Structure 1
Amino acid sequence: MEKLKWKLENEVIFYRISGKIAINKSCDITANGSLILKNLKKSDAGQYIPEVYDQNGRYNRHTTQKLLCILDPVMKPTVTIECFEENVNFTCTVDQQGVSYQWYQNDEPLTKEKDFSLIKTAKEVKSDSFFCKVSNQVSFENSESVLIPSTETCLKSIIPNTLKVLPEALPPVVLEGSDITLSCNVTRELTHPTNLSITWLVKKEGGKEEILTFSPQGGVITGTKFAHHYKNGSIRLAPSSNEVFKLVISKVTKSDEGIYECNGNEWLYDSRWKKIKIWESTKEFGNVTITPAGFPKELFGISIWVFIGGGGGIVLLIIIIITVCCIRARRQKHRRPSAAIKNLHDIPL
């Protein structure tokens, strides 16, 4: 081969004549005249055209032109998750054009999922991991694996927390045998078709106990220890408005003492009618003490608990108890002579 010339488009990048190199722009040539390119750049892309002449100056028409495309290596993609009701939308994002996508679930390829997005039902794959693979003709990259969020987490991302629970304060002391009404206001903004329920609870030394749960959509569920009370009517729901819920405990006893709470719960049913909790809030009514029926409720026309709460404390309480006992003892002493005199009249002469 007397003459060898390589051109990139219309520019000569290598020219050798009679064994002497006239032009060489960083190219390497093999013994058979093939062109070797190193450290490729985007500017090296294009149509490569060889020209070969023999010693007689005849052009070799059996050479082949080559089109070279330079592609950037694929960048590492990221996976973002968005929730829509009970579904989860996965999106594979990479800042490049002309790439292919492949999704993997638990490291196994989803052969039919070739789009940049993937939709799954949260409850069906709640413990699975996902990642996407992005590739072009020269390289590929995988994203980090992500876990699918729970249905509850998905719903929280699209339903704002507007739940408000406001219990009506209870008197700190209740007379034994009387009734107490646990009135609680539970509201939320109806941005989605969710349901509300309310649970009344009481905290004692042995722990927290559920008294009763009520929902306009779900009915009544009684706590284990209070089922018979609800059945015999000593615990009952009172008429209320759409936002105010009332529970009445009748004829309270010492065993009813404790800290009462109101729990509001916003929820909905999934496609299988399974209840999914979204938001909840718990607030206290206050601590309730049950006073024996024989204990005085007032002193000088004023509630005895006003004296105690006003700073007299336990000392004042002891004084009041002693005073009341003395008054009762004196009254009983005055009654006894009358009874004796009456009995004397009954003795026959």
Structure 2
Amino acid sequence: MDTVVKMTAVTVLLFGLARGSAELQQTCEYKAVGESTLISLQPPSSCKEESLTWKLNSNEFLSRKRNRVRNLIHSVNITADGSLQLKNLQMDGAGVYEAMVYDQNGRLCYNTTKPLCVMERVSKPSVSHKCSEDAVILTCNTKKSETDVTFEWSLNSQKIEGKVEKTFTVNGRPKPSDTYSCTARNKVGEEKSNDATIQCLDVQMSASVTWPNGDVREGDKVTILCTSSLHVDTFFLWRPKKSSPRMESKNGEFSLKNVEVDDSGIYTCQPQWLSGHPVFSRNATVNLLVSHREETQTEQITSGKHASFSPLNGIFYLLVSVFALVTYI
């Protein structure tokens, strides 16, 4: 039988039938891919079989008349009493199986239906965790394609009541001796993860700005340095303007050339660990203030940081000196 849909969830061809999907779901027999099952046929003694027809989702695939069998599915066998033996079930074997028994007069004397659902077995899960400032988030990881999965969490091999979600939050920091595990379960089986210990590394981040001379002025070259107490695979620098692309550096050093006044603002250093360290780190920020070059020069002159002399100033100082000398004589 050709595969109709490849899914790891239930192939529910039967749920779209007009007979009422909710009712069929409740009566559906669930089997795992690769399993075998028997769909029994038990007509009343008053129903003397002359011919028998089996259908899957309204499509006839097997018929028997006077012990002559016509079968379109090689993985299905029929027993002497008309029951079906289904071997090595696959997704396309899911649906509504219907049997119709006719007597010697061609009258339908018995009719029965059997909904069958086929699912992949749940995969073995694994526990991962992510550290925040005051908590740890645990995740029970299964294949992304798996659906209709429920979860159970255990601490030191003891079930944690009420924790049935894929993620589980532990407040604070777990003890070094604590072990966590999760069990993933669907309608055809369950799998338990290995025990996992939880360790969080609290990383300290810092950021600083360096430049060659005094205040930062337009046209200057500025260096922003991001540092961490733990080795970081990649540093990212986010600029004040949201429209500006982030910068990337392996050593945490970022050069800003020919800065402008519009470059002023808060710069954010963000670390990234490619190996998935269970760390918690606050992003580091630094404030950069860029001044207009003309305004800065004016301020420096006013504050006496620079002395400036013109020819007129020289003549003025000479006349004052001569006048003082004549007066003294």
Question: Which TM-score tier does this pair reach, normalised by the shorter chain?
Answer: 0.3 to 0.5
Say which structure, 1 or 2, has more relative contact order (CA 8 Å, 6+ apart): 2
Please report the TM-score for the alignment, with normalisation by the length of structure 1. Answer: 0.43
Larger radius of gyration: 1
Larger fraction in helix = 1
Output the TM-score relative to the length of structure 2: 0.45
